[in-house]
């Protein structure tokens, strides 16, 4: 249902000229399987959650109203309340920025041809980026 909602949102945005289409833009997105613990997977999940935020809320609304049982409807209400809270909406983009830095550093560390000087340089750069974010 999330994919369908997101697809409809993209089509509507393209028709209303609110979003533009070029190669690589507005691609179909989905979440990775639960359990992938690499930093990169967390970054991708947060990014996709931001992209599909409205579609997810739409699906939760449908589940709240038409869920198969009261437990499912209750979970949808709780998730909606969490996702619409100030803390969640405020922290999601912040977390994405933080994970973007850690993801870049993590990918660099995983390269087989990485040397220690470059790692130290990347660490200093990451530290500076975090310092700028904090300020």
Q: What are the boundaries of each domain within the chain?
A: 2-134
Share of the chain residues as helix, strand and coil, in percent rounded to the nearest 5: 75, 0, 25
Long-range CB contacts (< 8 A, 24+ apart) of 94-100? Answer: 95/46, 96/43, 96/46, 96/47, 96/50, 97/133, 98/130, 98/133, 99/39, 99/42, 99/43, 99/46, 100/43
pLDDT tens per residue across span 51-88: 899 999 999 999 999 988 999 999 999 999 999 999 99
Backbone dihedral region for residue 25 (phi beyond 0: left; psi -120 to 50: alpha; all else: beta): beta
pLDDT tens per residue across span 5-38: 888 888 888 888 777 676 554 445 555 555 555 6
pTM over 0.75? The answer is no
Evaluated on CA atoms 56, 59, 65, 68, the torsion sign reads negative
């Amino acid at each position: 249902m999330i994919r369908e909602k997101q697809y409809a949102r993209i089509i509507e945005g393209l028709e209303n000229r609110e979003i533009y289409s070029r190669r690589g833009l507005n691609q179909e997105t989905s979440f990775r399987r639960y359990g992938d613990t690499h930093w990169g997977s967390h970054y991708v999940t947060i990014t996709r959650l931001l992209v599909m935020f409205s579609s997810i809320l739409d699906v939760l609304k449908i589940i709240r109203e038409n869920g198969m049982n009261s437990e499912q409807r209750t979970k949808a209400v709780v998730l909606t309340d969490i996702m619409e809270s100030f803390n969640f909406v405020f922290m999601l983009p912040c977390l994405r920025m933080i994970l973007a830095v850690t993801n870049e550093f993590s990918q660099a560390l995983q390269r087989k041809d990485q040397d220690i000087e470059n790692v130290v340089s990347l660490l200093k750069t990451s530290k500076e980026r975090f310092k700028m974010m904090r300020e």
